[in-house]
Structure formats: structure tokens, C-alpha cells
């Protein structure tokens, strides 16, 4: 049986004292307490973790475990610098993903609506193999997705929903329903879409269907991190982007040269840059993302490499 949690509540001053006791340098204690009051110990914790000491795992000598003690030279202000850097990074991603999400709504509604105004409601209009796949928790992939999609419409407070139900009987056609769905819901529908529809949408972006689906799911994962204000700059990317074929997106083939590019946020940034340029060739977003990472905050124990931004990344064509 696991032991109960017994750590006591600490005042902000005591929280700072504990960090200093563990070796974290604090050059301005009053300002540090203010950061703990306004940002919080828990939210700052992921940003000072790179500064903590690593020791051999007692259960496996090939692994290391993080201790609560800080490495010599670690400073509180650097954790705040990382936090502020990450906050701006999330805002940059949300800006790009909003544009991509709006475009994907139009793409799905236009392609699937031609089959049937409610094509999203029946596997007959979708990729039947994927839509009818049995899920571990019960039901099919499509049944589970539809329950979530209908729930989003039922919860919507938008005027168009009220006007629709005051005028017509359900269901809501896809070209209206897409406006109630979040990016994750859209990404799952894209994956279940009829193969011809998926191919038609992918062609708009110069991609193969599987590459398109993979990249959209990567961005859906990043959006969830960003929308929940979680640490992003060095986060592990679970839905890693596929490496494109040279004839698809030659400027992104380089993400296959090192696993770190895809397992960290760099690959997602490159994918977002590709999409926003296809949607709006005159966009400044790639330049803004490049400018954000080039002057990575100077500090020991943390660098842009931990985000997958390896040496020479800014010379790649996707950032030109």
C-alpha cells in the first residue's frame, strides 16, 4: 500500500525558503515571492526541473532519477524566464492552430457535405473500416466520436444553434455542425472521412492523406497543451508528425534526420509553419516563431536543443 501524502501547507515565504534550502539561487527574494503568489509553486515546478540534480536510479544503474536538490548555479529567475518564454510559445501556436482549425472546418464541411448534408452521422459516407472499428471501452470509433460531436452541439450557446432548433428539426448539417467542434473532434473526423474526401483535402495542402492526418493530430496534441497552459517548450510530443516524402513537402523532410526533432516541439512548429503558409502565403507566423526561438533565454541547464531545435535549425527552408 502506498503511504498517504503528508507534506504540510507552506506560506509563500516558506515555499521560497524551501527552494533556497535545496540550492536554488534567489537574487531578489521579494520579487520571487511575488512570482510564487501570481504564478504558483506548482505551475513553476516544471520550469525549474531542468535545474535539478540527476542521480543513478537505485533500481536500474542505466537510468537516472531527478532529486529535489538543485545543481550549482541554478537560479529562480531562470525558471521564471522559461515560464514566460513558454507562455509566448503557447500563444504563437494557438494563433497558428486557430487558422488551421478554421480552414479544416471548411475543408471537411465542403468535401463531406457534397456526399450528404449529414455525412458525418453515417459510416456509409465515411471510411467504413475505420468508422466501424471496435473500441476497447465499447462501441465503435464512429459511435464514440458521434456522441462527443453531438455533445458539443448540445452544449453550444451560439445563436445559430438556437435559431436552427427554433426553425428545423435535427440533425444539424455538417456545414453548421463543424462550428461547434473543437480541433480534436475535427481531427478524428478527418481520420474517419471517406478515403476520397481525405485525399481531396490532403491534395489542397500538397500532402498524402496519411501525412495530413498525422500532422493534424500532432497539432491537436499541441493545442491541448497550449489551451491548458501546460509546459510546452520541451514537452514530449506523443502524436509525432510523420516524415513527409520528398515530393510532398521537401522543406520538412529534415524532421526525419533526428528523432529529437519529432519527439519535441520543433516538429510541430515546422508542421504549423507549413500549414499556415499553404493557407496564407504572406503570413508572418514562421518569421515570428523563428524570432521567438533564436534568442532562447540564456541560462545554464536549459537550451533550445531540449525543444528539438538543433544546431542549424533556423537555416532550414521552412523558416526562410
Task: Evaluate whether residue 229 is within a structural domain.
Answer: yes
Same domain, 39 and 172: no
Task: Evaluate whether residue 57 is within a structural domain.
Answer: no
Mean pLDDT of 239-250: 97
Same domain, 211 and 132: yes
| pLDDT at residue 219 is higher than 90 | yes
Task: Evaluate whether residue 78 is within a structural domain.
Answer: no
Same domain, 35 and 154: no
Same domain, 22 and 167: no
Number of structural domains the chain divides into: 2
- Other C-beta atoms closer than 10 Å to the C-beta of 196 total 12
Digit-coded pLDDT (tens) for 29-69: 999 999 999 999 999 999 999 999 999 988 888 889 999 99
C-beta of residue 7 within 8 angstroms of C-beta of residue 23: no
Mean pLDDT of 122-144: 96
Rg of the chain, C-alpha, whole Å: 23
pLDDT score of 227: 96
Prediction pTM value: 0.94
Task: Evaluate whether residue 25 is within a structural domain.
Answer: yes
Same domain, 228 and 136: yes
pLDDT score of 125: 98
Same domain, 185 and 36: no
Task: Evaluate whether residue 241 is within a structural domain.
Answer: yes
Same domain, 273 and 138: yes
In the DSSP assignment, the letter for residue 186 is: H
Same domain, 106 and 40: no
Task: Evaluate whether residue 156 is within a structural domain.
Answer: yes
pLDDT above 90 covers what percent of the chain?
97
Task: Evaluate whether residue 63 is within a structural domain.
Answer: no
Same domain, 272 and 183: yes
Same domain, 125 and 272: yes
| Confidence band of 86 (pLDDT split at 50, 70, 90) | very high
pLDDT score of 203: 98
Same domain, 91 and 31: no
Domain range enclosing 25: 10-45
d(CA 193, CA 213): 10
| pLDDT at residue 147 is higher than 90 | yes
Phi, psi of 279 (to 5 degrees): -75, -40
Same domain, 29 and 170: no
Mean pLDDT of 121-136: 96
Task: Evaluate whether residue 215 is within a structural domain.
Answer: yes
| pLDDT at residue 222 is higher than 90 | yes
Amino acid at each position: 500500500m502506498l503511504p498517504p501524502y503528508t507534506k504540510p501547507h507552506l506560506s509563500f515565504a516558506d515555499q521560497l525558503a524551501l527552494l533556497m534550502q535545496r540550492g536554488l539561487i534567489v537574487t531578489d527574494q521579494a520579487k520571487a515571492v511575488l512570482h510564487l503568489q501570481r504564478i504558483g509553486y506548482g505551475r513553476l515546478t516544471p520550469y525549474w526541473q531542468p535545474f535539478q540534480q540527476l542521480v543513478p536510479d537505485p533500481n536500474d544503474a542505466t537510468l537516472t532519477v531527478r532529486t529535489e536538490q538543485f545543481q550549482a548555479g541554478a537560479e529562480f529567475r531562470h525558471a521564471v524566464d522559461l515560464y514566460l518564454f513558454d507562455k509566448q510559445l503557447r500563444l504563437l501556436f494557438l494563433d497558428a492552430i486557430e487558422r488551421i482549425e478554421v480552414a479544416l472546418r471548411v475543408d471537411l464541411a465542403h468535401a463531406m457535405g457534397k456526399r450528404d448534408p449529414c455525412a458525418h452521422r453515417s459510416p456509409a459516407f465515411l471510411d467504413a473500416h475505420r468508422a466501424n472499428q471496435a473500441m476497447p471501452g465499447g462501441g465503435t470509433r464512429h459511435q464514440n466520436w458521434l456522441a462527443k460531436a453531438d455533445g458539443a452541439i448540445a452544449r453550444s450557446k451560439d445563436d445559430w444553434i438556437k435559431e436552427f432548433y427554433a426553425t428545423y428539426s435535427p440533425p444539424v448539417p455538417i456545414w453548421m455542425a463543424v462550428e461547434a467542434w473543437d480541433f480534436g473532434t475535427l481531427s478524428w473526423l478527418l481520420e474517419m472521412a471517406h478515403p476520397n474526401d481525405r485525399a481531396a483535402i490532403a491534395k489542397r495542402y500538397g500532402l498524402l492523406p496519411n501525412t495530413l492526418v498525422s500532422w493534424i493530430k500532432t497539432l491537436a496534441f499541441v493545442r491541448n497543451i497550449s489551451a491548458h497552459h501546460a509546459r510546452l517548450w520541451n514537452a514530449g510530443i506523443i502524436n509525432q508528425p510523420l516524415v513527409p516524402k520528398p515530393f510532398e513537402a521537401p522543406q520538412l523532410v529534415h524532421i526525419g534526420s533526428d528523432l529529437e526533432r519529432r519527439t519535441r516541439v520543433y516538429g510541430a512548429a515546422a508542421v504549423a509553419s507549413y500549414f499556415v503558409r499553404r493557407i496564407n502565403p504572406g503570413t508572418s507566423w514562421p518569421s515570428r516563431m523563428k524570432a521567438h526561438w533564436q534568442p532562447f533565454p540564456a541560462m545554464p541547464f536549459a537550451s533550445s536543443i531540449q525543444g528539438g531545435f538543433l544546431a542549424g535549425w533556423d537555416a532550414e527552408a521552412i523558416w526562410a
